[in-house]
Structure 1
Amino acid sequence: MENSSKIPLTLTRDTGRLSLGQRIFYEKNGFILIPHLVPLDVLERCNQRFEDISSGKVPKGAMTVMRDINDRKSVNKLQDFNTDEVLFEYVSHKDVVDVVESFTGPNIMAMHTMLIAKPPDIGYGSSKHPPHQDLYYFPFRPADKIVASWTAMEPCDVKNGCLYVLPGSHKKFSLLPHEYPSESVNKMYHGIQKLEDAKGWINLEMQPGDTVFFHPLLIHGSGINQSKRTRKAISAHYASADCTYIEVEGTVQEKIKDEVMEVVKRRLPGVTNVKFDDIWRFKSALVRGIRSSL
Structure 2
Amino acid sequence: MTTLVTATATRREQYDRDGVVQVEGLLDAAEIATIREAFMEQVARDRTAVGAVSEVADDDVLSRYPRFMQPHRRPDLEIGRIARRYLSDRRIVDALTELVGPVYGAQSMFYFKPPSARGQAMHQDNYFLRAHPETCLAAWIAVDDCDAENGALSVVPGSHTMEVVCPEEADAEESFTSGLVRPPEGMEAVQTTMRAGDVLFFHGSLVHGSLPNTSTDRFRRSLILHFVPQASVEISRFYLPLVDPLTGADVTIDEATGGGPCGEVWEGGAH
- Kept in 1, the 8 Å contact 2:175–2:211? The answer is no
Deviation (angstroms), 1:31: 0.5
Equivalent position of 1:138 in the other structure:
129
State yes or no: 1:64 paired with 2:55. Answer: no
**Aligned mates of 2:184, 2:232 — CA distance in 1:** 33
Cα distance change, pair 232–140 in 1 and its aligned pair in 2 (3 A): same
Q: 1:214 aligns with which of 199, 202, 205?
A: 202
**Aligned mates of 1:189, 1:102 — CA distance in 2:** 34
- Kept in 2, the 8 Å contact 1:37–1:95? The answer is yes
Unaligned runs of 5+ in 1: 1-17, 247-275
Cα deviation digits, residues 75-108 of structure 1 (max 9, x gap)? 14211112311232332222111111223423x3
Equivalent position of 1:240 in the other structure:
229
Provide TM-score, normalisation by structure 2: 0.77
**Aligned mates of 2:160, 2:37 — CA distance in 1:** 35
Q: How do residues 212-291 of structure 1 correspond to structure 2 at under 5 angstroms?
A: 212-228=200-216, 229-245=218-234, 277=237, 279-282=238-241, 284-288=242-246, 291=251
RMSD: 2.6
Unaligned runs of 5+ in 2: 1-6, 74-79, 255-271
Cα distance change, pair 211–225 in 1 and its aligned pair in 2 (3 A): same
Q: How do residues 163-174 of structure 1 correspond to structure 2 at under 5 angstroms?
A: 163-171=153-161, 173-174=162-163
State yes or no: 1:92 paired with 2:103. Answer: no
- Kept in 1, the 8 Å contact 2:175–2:212? The answer is no
Provide TM-score, normalisation by structure 1: 0.72
Deviation (angstroms), 1:197: 4.5
State yes or no: 1:162 paired with 2:157. Answer: no
**Aligned mates of 1:280, 1:188 — CA distance in 2:** 19
SS of equivalent to 1:86: helix
Equivalent position of 1:270 in the other structure:
none
- Kept in 2, the 8 Å contact 1:68–1:75? The answer is no
Larger Rg: 1
- Kept in 2, the 8 Å contact 1:170–1:216? The answer is yes
Equivalent position of 1:272 in the other structure:
none
- Kept in 2, the 8 Å contact 1:168–1:218? The answer is yes
**Aligned mates of 1:244, 1:185 — CA distance in 2:** 36
Total equivalences in the alignment:
237
Cα distance change, pair 72–207 in 1 and its aligned pair in 2 (3 A): closer
**Aligned mates of 1:184, 1:196 — CA distance in 2:** 23
Q: 1:74 aligns with which of 56, 61, 64?
A: 64
Deviation (angstroms), 1:211: 0.6
Aligned-partner residue type, residue 227 of structure 1: S
SS of equivalent to 2:240: helix
- Kept in 2, the 8 Å contact 1:152–1:234? The answer is yes
- Kept in 1, the 8 Å contact 2:120–2:176? The answer is no
Aligned-partner residue type, residue 29 of structure 1: D
Deviation (angstroms), 1:71: 2.6
Deviation (angstroms), 1:241: 3.2
Equivalent position of 1:253 in the other structure:
none
Identity of aligned residues (%): 22
